[in-house]
Chain A
Amino acid sequence: MRIIKTAEITQAVKKMCIDANLYLADDMKNALYTACEREENALGKKILGQLKENLEIAGNESIPICQDTGMAVVFVRLGQDVHIEGGSFNEAINEGVRQGYTEGYLRKSVVNDPVIRKNTGDNTPAIIHVEIVDGESLEITLAPKGFGSENMSRVFMLKPADGIDGIKNAVLTAVKDAGPNACPPVVVGVGIGGDFEKSALLAKKALTNQLNSVHSYFDDVQGDSTAKDVIPDNTYLTKLQKDLYTEINDLDIGPGGMGGKFTCLGINIEVYPTHIAGLPLAVNMCCHVNRHVKVTL
């Protein structure tokens, strides 16, 4: 058994809040820079140039990349042999968010109630998802989520008969409906399977994965007691990912909605087994400021 102090968690979360809002991960940054070079539409290219310059100013002068510094979404993978000491685990995370958003001069964007809407003043509470895993380490992924893109996200309860074409149509519908509102070029997080809420969680989690990747439930459980004949052949997923990337970028929404071939910088897919009667699909939209930082304690 390993002991982890809550103070360490608070410290890590605080630093992650600040870092995530000032610097993008290399995969996001490279995708933006590549788009900036390759965009052919003059207006779209101009927008990408502004976004590139914006990113440089943010990093050099410690000004948040976007004024919407998000609601703090926290994915925790907690080793089952870890003992948390020194107070409440959730409070340790919220205290990290509180300190990060205050000391980092980040925007406090959380209201106390969806109807009453009084600002909580410190960007808490965070949205915390905990998964218990093997081992004795604690992995924390912090993903501050802006709501310009969040508001354009969708859940579709498709029918099994809709199949791959139904999935494609739904994703393209979500991206078209989002149009200029979600601050394109976007990153599209797609969650397929599970149930109603699981699909949404998969889509959000997908956004934290390597850009332009696919990941399935069975990628993590291969080799255990699961019968080999139920492990799906995921070749179709890689093709779906590539096809959607192309089809989204053929929509000509373009950077800032100004037209061009970079409507999305990437699409990430997460898949989970589902029920015989269903094909849940969630599309979590994110702008190019797809922030996520991970630490392992």
Chain B
Amino acid sequence: MDYKINLPFTEEDIIKIKGGDVLYLNGTVYSARDAAHKRMYDAINEYLEKTGKKPSEITSAELFENGVTPIDLKGTVLYYLGPTPAKPGQVIGSAGPTTSSRMDKYTPLLLDLGLAGMIGKGRRSDDVKAAIKRNKAVYMGATGGAGALLSKCIKSSTVIAYDDLGTEAIRKMEVENFPVTVLIDSEGGAFRV
């Protein structure tokens, strides 16, 4: 099935979409890849150590309000992306997905904190699959190697955190009819991964 989706996902949408469905996303996504994931993950763990809390005792809002993470992860969609620099007059440069499995180490924690969706390419670990199912989230694939084409669906892009990471900074982006395929759905149903 093909669906036009307005982000953030509604609970109804998340349950409706299944592995193999094609989605056209509209709304806000945040770019984050290896270095941004590591930085958020390390900051969360540092916070846990400092407060003596368990992961199940913290919320994404608490992390955001305390400056531990630069975004409130609840309901958020992350795009595994490190774009090329925008030329004058461009919103963003080439902007296709990077390989998702490198984020696997960090992902279950983010999903448990409420991360709703991820856009990348390729396979995920069993731990990630289980965390997607546990939290009713969704993993989507964009076409690898189509960065010029996909950049056309990004209507605005602003670096909101980790500017020092260059291409690996976190960007808030508005997308319009951004094409993805559902690779792991909220019931853990996997499509070709």
Q: Which residues of A contact B (CB under 8 A)?
A: 43, 47, 50-51, 53-55, 57-58, 61-69, 105-109, 117, 119, 121, 148, 151, 179-181, 183, 256-259, 287-289
Interface string of B96-122 (1 = CB under 8 A from A): 101101000000000000000000011
What's the Cα separation between A288 and B145 when bound, in Å? 8
Residue of A nearest to B38 (CB): A117
Most B C-beta atoms less than 10 A away, residue of A55, A61, A68: A68
What's the Cα separation between A194 and B95 when bound, in Å? 39
Secondary structure class of chain A's binding surface, majority of residues: loop
Q: Does B37 contact A (CB under 8 A)?
A: no
Q: Are A61 and B148 in contact (CB under 8 A)?
A: yes
What's the Cα separation between A62 and B90 when bound, in Å? 11
Q: Are A64 and B99 in contact (CB under 8 A)?
A: no
Q: Are A258 and B181 in contact (CB under 8 A)?
A: yes
Q: Can you spell out 5 A-B residue pairs with CB atoms less than 8 angstroms apart?
A: A50-B179, A54-B143, A67-B98, A183-B144, A183-B145
Q: Are A151 and B99 in contact (CB under 8 A)?
A: yes
Question: Among B4-12, B58-66, B81-89, B130-138, which stretch is in contact with chain A?
Answer: B81-89
User: If the complex has contacts A57-B152, A64-B94, A151-B99, are A257 and B145 also in contact, measured as CB distance less than 8 A?
Assistant: no
User: If the complex has contacts A57-B149, A258-B181, are A180 and B121 also in contact, measured as CB distance less than 8 A?
Assistant: yes
Contacts of B148 in A (CB 8 A): 54-55, 57-58, 61, 63-65
Contacts of A181 in B (CB 8 A): 99, 101, 121-123
Q: Are B145 and A179 in contact (CB under 8 A)?
A: no
What's the Cα separation between A180 and B190 when bound, in Å? 13
Residue of B nearest to A59 (CB): B148
Q: Are A107 and B93 in contact (CB under 8 A)?
A: yes
New A-B contacts (8) at CB < 8 Å, excluding given A53-B149, A289-B145: A64-B147, A67-B94, A67-B96, A68-B147, A69-B84, A106-B84, A180-B121, A181-B101
Residue of B nearest to A146 (CB): B145
Contacts of B192 in A (CB 8 A): 180, 257-259
Q: Does B28 contact A (CB under 8 A)?
A: no
* Cβ of A136 to closest chain B Cβ, rounded Å: 38
User: If the complex has contacts A151-B99, A180-B193, are A107 and B85 also in contact, measured as CB distance less than 8 A?
Assistant: yes
Q: Does B1 contact A (CB under 8 A)?
A: no
What's the Cα separation between A64 and B166 when bound, in Å? 17
Contacts of A65 in B (CB 8 A): 94, 145, 147-148
What's the Cα separation between A91 and B77 when bound, in Å? 42
Q: Does B160 contact A (CB under 8 A)?
A: no
Q: Are B98 and A68 in contact (CB under 8 A)?
A: yes
Contacts of A259 in B (CB 8 A): 192
Q: Are A108 and B167 in contact (CB under 8 A)?
A: yes
Contacts of B82 in A (CB 8 A): 67-68, 107, 109
Q: Sorted from nearest, which 5 A-B pairs have the closest CB atoms?
A: A183-B144, A181-B122, A54-B149, A63-B148, A67-B147
* Cβ of A127 to closest chain B Cβ, rounded Å: 19
Interface string of B29-65 (1 = CB under 8 A from A): 0000001000000000000000000000000000000
* Cβ of B162 to closest chain A Cβ, rounded Å: 12
What's the Cα separation between A62 and B147 when bound, in Å? 12
Contacts of A119 in B (CB 8 A): 165-168
Q: Are B81 and A67 in contact (CB under 8 A)?
A: yes
* Cβ of B19 to closest chain A Cβ, rounded Å: 12
Contacts of A55 in B (CB 8 A): 148
Contacts of B99 in A (CB 8 A): 148, 151, 181
Contacts of A106 in B (CB 8 A): 84-85
What's the Cα separation between A179 and B152 when bound, in Å? 27
Q: Are A63 and B98 in contact (CB under 8 A)?
A: no
What's the Cα separation between A180 and B96 when bound, in Å? 14
Q: Are B143 and A121 in contact (CB under 8 A)?
A: no
What's the Cα separation between A214 and B146 when bound, in Å? 29
What's the Cα separation between A109 and B143 when bound, in Å? 20
What's the Cα separation between A117 and B167 when bound, in Å? 13
Interface string of B159-191 (1 = CB under 8 A from A): 000000111100000000001010000000000
Q: Does B151 contact A (CB under 8 A)?
A: yes
Most A C-beta atoms less than 10 A away, residue of B146, B152, B192: B146
Q: Are B121 and A117 in contact (CB under 8 A)?
A: no
Contacts of A183 in B (CB 8 A): 121, 144-145
What's the Cα separation between A117 and B166 when bound, in Å? 12
What's the Cα separation between A289 and B94 when bound, in Å? 13
Q: Are A105 and B146 in contact (CB under 8 A)?
A: no
Residue of A nearest to B101 (CB): A181
Partner pick for B166 among A50, A69, A105, A108, CB 8 A cutoff = A108
